Chains A and B, each alone.
Chain A
Amino acid sequence: MPNLEHPAYPAADLLHLESLVPCRESQVSMLLSIFGERQQFSFPSIFIYGHTSSGKTYVMQTLLTTLQLPHVFVNCVEYFTSRLLLEEILIQLQSCSGSEQTSAVHCDSLNDFVRLFKQALAARELQDQTLYIVLDRAEQLREMEANILPAFLRLQELTDRNVTVVLLSEIVWELFRPNIGCFEPFTMYFPDYSIGHLQKILSQNHPPDYSADFYSAYINILLGVFYMVCRDLKELRHLAALNFAKYCEPVVRGEANERDTRKLWKNIEPHLKKAMQTVYLREISSSQWERLQHDGGEPGQLKGLSAHTHVELPYYSKFLLIAAYLASYNPVRTDKRFFLKHHGKIRKTNFLKKHEKTSNHLLGPKPFPLDRLLAILYSIVDNRVAPTANIFSQITSLVTLQLLSIVGQNDQLDGPRYKCTVSLDFIRAIAR
């Protein structure tokens, strides 16, 4: 019995659609009832949000293409300026209409856009069908000119045409709402896939050489390992494809048959755990992983990215970095005590104020002036350091290497202030 029912669309199409969007039937039927029939005016703007890979883009795209609704699909990350975005929408409109390759579109403002949009619609002869403009990753719109987002939300009104704008985003609508207010779109939430959903979706496209049950069992094991850390469907599918060959190994060699679940589990489980520590974290790349699998080597031979943490620095750069770390994490008052030979007596009690007793490592690095850095440097280096330009240029190169960062604006007279951005472990490794 089909879940999706709509008088405006043929039942066969709906059935096909349903098979394409597993676990998203309720959202689709909701959308369909909002869309209404082809000629009916729909909501001016619909805002769909949900976590990464909860099927927003996929569902929208399948829905629009299967039912052959006129639509324009644009990714806002890709068209990073408003001009590019508007022009892209117009270009897609024109190219869909099948007319000959039109000359380059010029659209600098929304005003132009509305005008050109009407023209393009007229050329397309849609017979008053609703046109859907889908803006994927709509959060990028917030960074464009202030009028873009409100204008898209009421494009129907501005153009006086049958058009619906669908915004897709990973964040909630509250973060979009501009200060000056705007037309409120219809908001819709796509919940995360549950583990059952994931199982169902992943098992759907099993490899041609093996049975669906066999693959489904494999997916079950895979989810058992990875579901705790990763619910991203794309990532899971990628991992499934990467490790499937290993899973099949005993079957290929004839040591186990397809039903021998326990044996297969024993074979694959440690392998998957290793994959979680390496491939999933991008410690080693998936092609390296495949090659390892192929050669039957141990992953231990390949060092991951985080194994290469050691950075070789010139002599004075090391000391500069250590001095910067000390300056960043020690209060100024302690400098005299730590770096001066005759610092006088300090009362032990209440030497540190109360707020200073919390670990400085929890508070993060504090900015310090250049002079303090140099003073500490001179006191921690054994022999005399000449304050040459080389020392100063090293500070700058440490900044470009992102080991230090400059704080505040760069003012020659006030003297620059820096922060040390490296961790204690890094400093320990250097100080050795």
Chain B
Amino acid sequence: MSTCSVSKGCFVFKPNAKKRRLPEKTAHDFRSTSHDSEDTELRFVTCQSLWNQIKFETEQIQEDLNKQLLDNLVSFLSRSHSDFQEKTTKWTCRMKFREIPTAAVVLGVNVTDHDLTFRGLSDVLQDNITPYVALLEAKDCPAIKNLMQKLMGQLMNCDIEVDSLEDEDCVQVPQNRIRCSMLSLISWYESVTKKTDSGTPSKKRNSSSRHWQSPPVVVIFKDMESFTTKVLQDFIVISSQHIHELPLVLIFGIATSPMIIHRLLPHSVSSLLCIELFQSLSCKEHLSTIIDKLLLTSRFPFKLGEKVLQVLINIFLYHDFSVQNFIKGFQLCIVEHFYSQPLSVLCCHLVDLKKRVYSLSHAQCENIRRLPSFRRYVEKQESGKQIELLTNDSFLKKETERLLEDLYVYHENYVSILRCLHVFTSSLPKYPLGKQIRELHCACLENQVWETEEYESSLQLARMLNKTDLVSMLQQCVEILTSSSGKEFDKTVEKLKEFLTQFQNLEVAEASQERDVSVSSQKELQKKTDLYHLQKTLLELKESRRSKKLTKFEMLRFEVVDYIDRLVRKYLVPADNRTLHEIVYFNAATVLRGHLNAAPRTALHTALNNPHRYLKAFSTVVMAGEEPNADAASSDQVDDIIHARFIRAVSELELLGFIKPSKQKTDHVARLTWGGC
């Protein structure tokens, strides 16, 4: 059992009696705490469905990303014990030492993501290779005894699970009755494989279609680094002695580098293994894909503001490299947005928008009028319209619908143009606007990107691109724009194509012209002999070179860059400038930071500023220590909630370092938790 608490203490685990009906409860929470009870139900439902979509999408992405790794592993596993199947009696097979096939899977330091990978892996293995997969964690295996217990428990249970669906008379062996030795594991394996061999036809079809006759037993060590050397060594030595009877395959989950194998295992043990290395995708690439698929798309109505995105990315890059945490953070943003913003009810797909806008209540209309971006918008309108907007609800609704649709279109266009701009900036030397599209995205959201120095310098650099690069970039842009769903890009695509044809036409003309220019100027130079004239012509020549250097290609290049610049200025307006952006963009970075970047020191300061609460708890501890009898006597009447709060306060105090369990006598925490003395 584990808890999410950071403090040490005693925790009570009650068996979960029934599945709680969580959704209703949360919906209720949404309602009870928000001040204006506007559309809370609907907001909650929207939030849920949106999150479900996103969750499905992320799982899909992760599956795709891990596919390569899993495929490799599966092929390795199916290869690993092929000679076990054939039972070859060839000379080499007899002479060779039977090593345990081992896959060292390097997964990177983002340990929180590994769980998902391993779950996917064991699912895939169970589907394709073998039903016998055991997942071991270091914290469950402090000694070889525990490891064997855990291993056998998992393996034998998995078999029972499979079997119990089909026949009821399988022998259910209670776990503590089995001797935890390799021999019993082997006899179990033999009985299981034999059973499937001589099973009924229906059973055989089931097993032989997916697994072989003697499927390997896969043991996955989730966190190789944390296992103690001795446990691993003993396990490997034992299993290598029985590799002939039990086709074992080990999978080491490695977070740092494969060198850890050599550090943990001496040569005498590592020589028993046949280690192959597998590497998963780097977490940065993983994140890029997630951002690309979740944020830079118009499929989801919900958007992240610049600061929020920056916070999430910073946590990822600076702290944990964990894609799971990033997605959790994203989820938090969604929930927070739908919870705190009453107008988030309008943050939905375009199809539902009209209905929702027209069913807005008056209070919600007032909410719209209070939005800063809307007020800015109103101020720009002529006075007649202003009054209409501020007083007439139905007019407001019509306007809102239009504005939201604009916002939707804006976003669609934004993404396409962003990708185009990224094509250019990602190939520039030194990447003034960042290499990754997420950096560019942040820069564009932050403020008007064309006013920044980095943009200026990247345009400068873009004006120096060579022709082949430029042409290929333009082609990429054309592809992006044609595949985008935005409707406004027909003209743009045409223009870009025109550029492309112009580039093609240039090739011949350009070369000849260049030669002409140089020849004529040379001739002129030869004619003059006068020093003054010579100087003058040289100066002229220099001048002309400076201006005339613009060949046709260069002119065209300027044109292209200017055109891109115009597109950027038109479409990459920061979202903050758009009217009603508050409805779809979540921008409360401080809230998010408060949730995700816990600062113990700040907590300590508030505790010291408001010591009342803590002192009260402290005095209770002291009192309890002094008068244990009184406490025990009155413990019958103690309210459960107060009791729980007290224990929690004690563990908080312990965490903050104000109190500390002593080792001399039964410490307060234990005594108070267990009651009595």
Contacts and interface: CB of A to CB of B under 8 A. Distances in A.
Contacts of A401: 109, 111, 225, 255-256
Interface stretch (A81-89, A117-125, A193-201, A258-266): A81-89
B261 A305 contact: yes
B317 A80 contact: no
A75 B240 CA distance: 13
Contact of B315 (A77, A207, A390, A400): A390
Contacts, number: 163
A402 B226 contact: yes
B262 A84 contact: no
Interface residues of A, number: 61
B292 interface: no
A312 B108 contact: yes
A237 B109 contact: no
Given A308-B257, A397-B111, A402 B234 contact: no
Interface in B102-146: 102, 104, 106, 108-109, 111, 144-145
B259 interface: yes
Nearest to A285: B274
Contact of B96 (A79, A238, A394, A402): A238
A312 B256 CA distance: 8
A314 B318 contact: yes
A52 interface: yes
Contacts of A314: 109, 316-321
Nearest to A398: B109
Given A75-B241, A244-B92, A287-B274, A386 B597 contact: yes
Interface stretch (B54-62, B174-182, B625-633): B174-182
A275 to B, nearest CB: 13
Interface stretch (B299-307, B530-538, B652-660): B652-660
Contacts of A315: 317-319
B554 interface: no
B275 interface: yes
A282 B273 contact: yes
A311 B256 contact: yes
A389 B597 contact: yes
B223 interface: yes
B181 A286 contact: no
A127 to B, nearest CB: 29
Given A52-B268, A388-B597, A400-B226, A412 B655 contact: yes
Nearest to B265: A282
Contact of B95 (A205, A281, A394): A205
Contacts of A240: 95
B180 A287 contact: no
Interface in A63-97: 75, 77-81, 84, 87-88
A80 B262 contact: no
B358 interface: no
Contact of B234 (A77, A208, A285): A77
Interface in B73-103: 79-80, 91-92, 95-97, 99, 101-102
Contacts of A316: 318-319
A205 B96 CA distance: 12
Contacts of B267: 281-282
Nearest to A235: B271
Contacts of B255: 401
Interface string A307-328: 0111111111100000000000
B432 interface: no
A2 B106 CA distance: 57
B238 interface: yes
B237 interface: yes
B486 interface: no
26 contacts: A87-B179, A209-B91, A238-B97, A240-B95, A241-B96, A242-B96, A245-B92, A282-B275, A285-B102, A287-B80, A305-B261, A305-B262, A306-B262, A308-B258, A308-B277, A310-B257, A312-B282, A312-B284, A316-B318, A386-B599, A387-B600, A389-B597, A390-B315, A390-B598, A401-B225, A403-B256
Given A282-B270, A310-B257, A402-B225, 18 more contacts: A77-B238, A78-B182, A78-B238, A84-B179, A88-B181, A244-B92, A282-B267, A305-B277, A306-B259, A306-B262, A308-B257, A308-B279, A312-B282, A315-B317, A400-B111, A400-B225, A401-B109, A403-B256
Interface of A: 52, 75, 77-81, 84, 87-88, 104, 205, 207-209, 232, 234-235, 237-238, 240-242, 244-245, 281-282, 285-288, 303, 305-306, 308-317, 386-394, 397, 400-403, 411-413
Across the A-B interface, the 10 shortest Cβ-Cβ residue pairs: A241-B95, A389-B598, A238-B97, A305-B258, A285-B274, A390-B319, A315-B318, A207-B91, A241-B96, A388-B597
